[in-house]
Amino acid sequence: MKNNKIALVTGSSRGIGRAIAIRLAKDGYKVIVHGAGRIEKAKETAEIIKNNGGEAEVIISDLTDLSKTAELCEKIKNVDVLILNASLQYRTPWQEIPQKECFEQLNCNFISSLMLIQAAVDNMKQNKWGRVVTIGSVQEAKPHPDMLVYSASKAAQTNMVQSLSLQLAKDGITVNNVAPGVIYTDRNVEALSDPEYAKKVTDSIPVGFYGEPQDCEGIVSLLCSDEGRYITGQNIFVDGGKSVQ
């Protein structure tokens, strides 16, 4: 049943974001599907939502370019739910990381998240109701040596979540981070196609298998619901136990 609320899910053209977008649409939200540029993939997510009886629209915006993030901010001032899922990940030995990779990852994974929250929060405050969920990573707890900026950007985002959860608590707005472990999506298909690497990765996951994008949607759905109203400022790992190993 529709709930007259609007949810933006960044990076929902594919992967975890797509699973979350489809779930929130089933929960009754009108969903803004977002992607960086693969418009066909974003439209595919929107079609799936519509075929399930939901409402969706598509927005494209490259969040490594902060002028594009600023344009997106102008279009999302009426959202009730913000899922900050889009991210960029480079794998480079730390001494070789060029500044361009630093800025792109920080722009997309941290600064854009802050800007989008800044843009959406006034409407949430007015309604005395809002939900912000950032998507982090198990790498906040277990940083990969060759993904230093990526893992640092996720840790920065979670620190922001903690700060904002306190500052927005009295406004009926909850702010949480969901940190996935290894989830089988486009970004790791190639790496995991190497059987030796795949075995090493699987052996590092206590439950003994990779997650699917759908493994991340239930917790996001709960956090966005009225049942989630007493959960704020949390970092919730969805990682088969990897963060505590």
Q: Closest Cα partner for 18 from 186, 157, 165?
A: 186
Q: Closest Cα partner for 55 from 28, 82, 93, 81?
A: 28
38 scored as a contact of ligand NAP (CB under 6 A)? yes
54 scored as a contact of ligand NAP (CB under 6 A)? no
Exposed / middle / buried, residue 196 (Cβ in 10 Å: 0-12, 13-18, 19+): exposed
Could you give the CA distance from residue 111 to residue 120 in angstroms, rounded to a whole number?
Answer: 14
- The catalytic residue among 29, 90, 150, 184 is 150
Q: How far is the CB of 172 from ligand NAP (least distance, A)?
A: 26
88 scored as a contact of ligand NAP (CB under 6 A)? yes
Q: Which residues, 6+ apart, have CB-to-CB distance to 4 below 8 Å?
A: none
- Residue from 177, 180, 205, 221 in contact with ligand NAP (CB under 6 A): 180
- Residue from 32, 87, 130, 156 in contact with ligand NAP (CB under 6 A): 87
Q: How far is the CB of 73 from ligand NAP (least distance, A)?
A: 13
Q: How far is the CB of 125 from ligand NAP (least distance, A)?
A: 26
Q: How far is the CB of 166 from ligand NAP (least distance, A)?
A: 23
Is the CB of 2 or the CB of 38 nearer to ligand NAP? 38
Is the CB of 130 or the CB of 181 nearer to ligand NAP? 181
Build a one-symbol-per-residue string for 108-147: x at contacts with ligand NAP by CB under 6 A, - elsewhere. x--------------------------x-xx---------
CB half-sphere exposure, 225, CA atoms < 13 A: 14
| Backbone angle region of 208, left / alpha / beta, with phi > 0 → left and psi within -120 to 50 → alpha | left
175 scored as a contact of ligand NAP (CB under 6 A)? no
Strand partners, 32: 8, 57
Could you give the CA distance from residue 233 to residue 225 in angstroms, rounded to a whole number?
Answer: 16
Is 210 in the active site?
no
Could you give the CA distance from residue 31 to residue 48 in angstroms, rounded to a whole number?
Answer: 12
- What is the number of the residue whose Cβ is closest to ligand NAP? 15
15 scored as a contact of ligand NAP (CB under 6 A)? yes
DSSP conformation class of 183: B
Q: What residues are labeled active site?
A: 150
Which residues sit at the interface with ligand NAP, rule CB under 6 A? 11-17, 35-38, 41, 62-64, 85-89, 108, 135, 137-138, 180, 182-183, 185-188
